[in-house]
Amino acid sequence: MIILKRFYFRPIFYHYRTNTTTTTTKTKLNTFNIEYDPIKQSIIYPQELNLNNKNYSTDSWTNVNENILSRIGLNLHQQKNHPLYHLTNRLRKYFYQFYDQKKLSPKFSIIDNLSPIVTTEQNFDSICIPINHVSRTKSMNYYINQNTLLRAHTSAHQVDLIRSGLNAFLCIGDVYRRDDIDPTHYPVFHQCEGVQLFTKEELFIGNKNVLGDKDNLEIFGPNEQRDATKQEGHTLEAVKLVEASLKKTITDLFKTLLPNTSILNSRWVDTTFPFTHPSWEYEIEIDGKWYELLGCGIMEHRVLENSGLNKDHIGWAFGLGLERIAMIMYGIPDIRLFWTNDSGFLSQFVFDDSTHSIQYKPISIYPQCINDLSMWMGKTKIDPSDFYDLVRAIGGDLIEQVILIDEFYNPKNQRYSQTYRIIYRSMDRTLTKNEINMIHKDIEYHCKQQFGVEIR
């Protein structure tokens, strides 16, 4: 039997067997009253889940698990002396330097305590993500029910915050995505959303030194068509001024966060997002490799219309992942480290001045353990996201990476085959072969139970 306390995070979503005899009784898996039915080979959710002291009905869209639900409310970015706490402080310090002379206060408000439980209208519809867009699928999100999910981005709060009267803000919080398993991806991470809006007066009068004596400049024009440089309705002059503001804000931010970028190459890459146009990604080059730091762009005017604003504002928005920036800032090689309670990691970030520059000193010198798992299934393939959730739930943070290395269809027996490579590594000790084999056997067992596969 596996001793669960030895794991970084107790894998409590799946029940553990103590022998190879298949049980025919439903097994309660956790405090959320989620059950596993071995006969139906499926997870059975209660009619309601109680999250943050509120009840949410479940339905066929429900796919959250205890491993994910247990992260709600941890708010690593608010935990003193955590690397994400220091990065949040540095973001706060940078944006608080922009001052509103009329209000005698910082221009940017900073919101970092909003619940990650949002509606599909907030997460998708309000920011113009099409109804058939791939980012809405169950394979990419953690749904509580068809109309409610754990936010996939802090953009879910854009419209609500603008409706509340804010025209310049940061929104920081935890976000949830069913992602790959590797040293740079984790199903829960933290994101910072930045937004700034401009009226005609703020945009043009504030840039007289650039525009000269030009009069009658407008944000909107009657005959403006959508093209690669702007949205329909927007004048090119307005878009170029907002673009300049956005890019200067971002460039100066990273000169502050990463002082060495001044001697490195950086670039803006044209891209496409449903909620901004034109859109860009900002990248820097380190040791010959390009790193994307954020995505950004001119906000789609439809988002502002959803916020209750008519044709009197234009704005920019960006979204950056805190873990990605912190990994570069501090030289942290594995995203799992942000979730560890190991004092060897956390003690390196015990300092009061968040601008203090340090480089992380590795605490794990322990080797990888690699096991492959091959299985036959029926005419329907396993969604890799479902397999990743199962592996993470059983192996916890002993799982460093999972890779789908082979997949094919056998027309003779009309079955699919998939082979996954599972890489195990502990941050604080050497894993024994016997220990890994036990975990791997449990993964095989639950694959057969949940997916009805045949292990090859």
pLDDT one-digit tens code per residue, 206-265: 665 555 555 678 999 988 899 999 999 999 999 999 999 999 999 999 999 988 655 568
| pLDDT for 29 | 43
Strand partners, 182: 185
Nearest to 369 by CA among 433, 428, 429: 433
Is the model's pLDDT at 17 over the cut of 80? no
**441-449, Cβ contacts within 8 angstroms, sequence gap of 24 or more:** 442/2, 442/14, 442/16, 442/17, 442/394, 443/373, 443/390, 443/391, 443/394, 443/395, 444/373, 445/17, 446/14, 446/390, 446/394, 447/373, 447/375, 447/387, 447/390, 449/36, 449/38, 449/41
Burial of 180 (0-12, 13-18, 19+ CB in 10 A): middle
Question: Which tokens belong to 373?
Answer: 């798992």
| pLDDT for 9 | 29
| pLDDT for 103 | 77
> Which of the residue ranges 8-17, 60-69, 121-130, 337-346 has the most confident prediction, judged by mean pLDDT?
121-130
- Torsion, Cα of 191, 193, 194, 197 (10° steps): 180
The shares of helix, strand and coil residues in the chain, as percent rounded to the nearest 5, are 30, 30, 40
pLDDT tens track for 401-412: 899 999 999 999
Which DSSP category does 230 fall into? B
| pLDDT for 308 | 94
| pLDDT for 30 | 46
* DSSP calls for 352-375: S-TT----------PPPEEEEEEE
**How large is the average pLDDT for residues 47-71?**
92
| pLDDT for 425 | 87
| pLDDT for 120 | 97
pLDDT tens track for 274-299: 999 999 999 998 888 899 999 999 99
| pLDDT for 71 | 93
Q: β-pairing, 454-455 with 399-410? A: unpaired
Q: β-pairing, 369-376 with 454-455? A: antiparallel
Q: What proportion of the chain, given as a percentage, has pLDDT over 70?
A: 88
11: pLDDT confidence band, cut at 50, 70 and 90? very low
pLDDT tens track for 337-395: 999 888 788 989 999 999 999 999 886 678 889 999 999 998 889 999 999 999 999 99
Count of H-run helices and E-run strands, the chain: 12, 21
| pLDDT for 136 | 95
Domains of the chain, each with CATH number or no CATH:
47-214+233-330 (3.30.930.10), 369-455 (3.30.70.380)
Strand partners, 349: none
Cβ pair 172, 77 in contact under 8 A: yes
- Torsion, Cα of 337, 340, 345, 350 (10° steps): 110
3-state per-residue secondary structure call for 157-207 = HHHHHHHCCCCEEEEEEEEECCCCEECCECCEEEEEEEEEEECHHHHHHHH
pLDDT tens track for 95-127: 999 988 777 789 999 999 999 999 999 999 999
Q: What proportion of the chain, given as a percentage, has pLDDT over 90?
A: 69
Give the C-alpha separation, 371 to 365, whole Å. 19
**How large is the average pLDDT for residues 6-21?**
31
Tokens 């970092």 found at: 112
Give the C-alpha separation, 286 to 283, whole Å. 10
For the chain, the average pLDDT equals 87
Question: Quick one: which H or E segment has residue 278?
Answer: strand 276-286
| pLDDT for 3 | 27
| pLDDT for 28 | 42
41: pLDDT confidence band, cut at 50, 70 and 90? low
Nearest to 65 by CA among 392, 365, 430: 392
